[in-house]
Structure 1
Amino acid sequence: MSSPTPRRRPSPAVYRRRRLVALVLALIVVGAIVAGIWVVVAQPWRGNAAETSAVTPSPSVSKSVEASPSASAASQAPAEEDAPDEDAAADDAVAADGAPACNAGDVTVEGSTSQESYGSDQNPEFSLTLTNTGDADCTINVGTSAQSFTVTSGSDTWWRSTDCQAKPSDMIVTLAAGQTVSSAETLSWDRTRSSVDTCDSGDRPRAPGSGASYHLAVEIGGIAANGTTQFFLN
């Protein structure tokens, strides 16, 4: 029998390659562990960012009354906090308490229509707005007894809100300096000619349409609007 061939020992170069491979594998494992620890420990903000933004309160918004441009800055400041809406009813104002009566020089009145032109099946809707342009609070009667809406066409008066008014009432209120208030509800005109003698009549003359022009004049508390508001009936 022949004797077994002795195994050859790997050369030093082979040992070096094996050590290099083992070292590389070890570095890969260690690198993966370190990377995992960095993701968990060094970057906690990734999970918290959404939570932080979710609980951040939004800025609060306060309602304010739009003051007249001529009102002073001092009179505008208190109106911005807990003030009524611009469209709030005049009867929501605080009752008069020692303030002087409003005069025409300190209050502006403006009438408005819900539309500029009305179809044959539409009734015009009217409202009014008053603004205290003075520097001090003043009192004014804003009750139905002090309100007047008048519709004219040329020199012809077609309708007055006071002709057939039922149970007019007074309401004295304080209008703060710079404050603007508007009627809470519109007043409708049935497109017929009014008269104190025809309030219960069912055949009052109907206002012409076909693009006819009409003008609305308003007054409240003895103070009339500076001009009229034009509208058209079809």
Structure 2
Amino acid sequence: MTTLGHMSSSSQRTSSSPRNRRPRRKLSKRQRQIYRRRRIVALIALIVVLALIAFCVYSLGRGMMAIDAAIRHDDQMALSRSAVPTPQQQSSVKDCTAADIDLSLQSESQSVAVGGSMKFTATIKYVLKGKSSCLIDGADDSRVLTITSGGDTVWRSDVCDVDSRKMLLAAGDTDTQTITWNTNRTGSSCADDSTLPKVEAGTYTAQLSMKDHPKIVSNKVTITVG
């Protein structure tokens, strides 16, 4: 009897076990659609992220290639510029010669005190008639005023470089400029005028000349410093 009772009890537990399990929850059709949409959205987002990463890597690679190409191009251009000489500017207008122009020089006075200043008027005049013309540089380092004492060159206007002053001269053209000499002595290199030593009392001669055309000279002007 005991055995039967035990078996009966065991049978009851076995038969009651399936009833104790929680039934599996079934998703409604709407819920399944929502989950499906979420999976699709997640998949699309993943694809977009991967596409963006691929695009960034591609763009970075193209950018590096472009920078490298630009650097090589600049290097080649620099080499080309250094290898090719600068072309000389050509013009159909000729340079002025001694037959085309006349230089004249005048001083504001014939004497000046030691340490004083003397102003000169430098004039370039085109002397030919007709329709011809010529080019000349009228800057102080091209149209040069030279002051001498015997065989000693005391002062020159071309010691310091200045900007070029190219002029096209034709019949009737005249260029007039004022040059000031502070009765001092220039050296072999450019220096501030206030640092130059003053000349001693004596007689000095001033004259204009064209640096690139030695035959073009002006009249001589004698002045006394004292």
If the length of structure 2 is used for normalisation, what is the TM-score? 0.51
| Structure showing greater Rg | 2
Give the aligned partner of residue 153 of structure 2. 157
Task: Name the CA distance, whole Å, in 2 between partners of 1:121 and 1:141.
Answer: 31
Matches within 5 A, 1:27-38: none
Given that 2:126 and 2:172 are in contact with CA atoms closer than 8 Å, whether structure 1 keeps it comes out as: yes
1:92-136 Cα deviation digits (max 9, x unpaired): xxxxx8533211112111122121111345311123101111122
Cα 1:114/1:200, change in 2 over 3 Å: same
Structure in which a larger fraction of residues adopt helix: 2
Task: Name the CA distance, whole Å, in 2 between partners of 1:195 and 1:213.
Answer: 20
Q: Which of 195, 199, 217 is equivalent to 2:187?
A: 195
Task: Name the CA distance, whole Å, in 1 between partners of 2:100 and 2:185.
Answer: 34
Task: Name the CA distance, whole Å, in 1 between partners of 2:218 and 2:115.
Answer: 30
Give the aligned partner of residue 38 of structure 2. none
2:121 matches 1:127: yes
Given that 1:100 and 1:139 are in contact with CA atoms closer than 8 Å, whether structure 2 keeps it comes out as: yes
Of stretches 126-135 and 218-227 in structure 1, the one that deviates more from structure 2 is: 218-227
Figure out how many residues of one structure are paired with residues of the other and give that number: 132
Q: Which of 217, 225, 234 is equivalent to 2:207?
A: 217
Identity of aligned residues (%): 21
Letter matched to residue 190 of structure 1: N
Q: Which of 216, 221, 229 is equivalent to 2:221?
A: 229
Cα 1:206/1:174, change in 2 over 3 Å: same
Structure 2 stretches of 5 or more lacking a match? 1-90
If the length of structure 1 is used for normalisation, what is the TM-score? 0.49
Give the aligned partner of residue 182 of structure 1. 176
Structure 1 stretches of 5 or more lacking a match? 1-96
Give the aligned partner of residue 101 of structure 1. 95
Cα 1:123/1:99, change in 2 over 3 Å: same
Given that 1:138 and 1:177 are in contact with CA atoms closer than 8 Å, whether structure 2 keeps it comes out as: no
Letter matched to residue 153 of structure 1: S
How far the C-alpha of 1:205 sits from its partner, in A, is 3.6
Task: Name the CA distance, whole Å, in 2 between partners of 1:201 and 1:114.
Answer: 20
Structure in which a larger fraction of residues adopt strand: 2
Letter matched to residue 178 of structure 1: G
Task: Name the CA distance, whole Å, in 1 between partners of 2:193 and 2:138.
Answer: 29
How far the C-alpha of 1:149 sits from its partner, in A, is 1.2
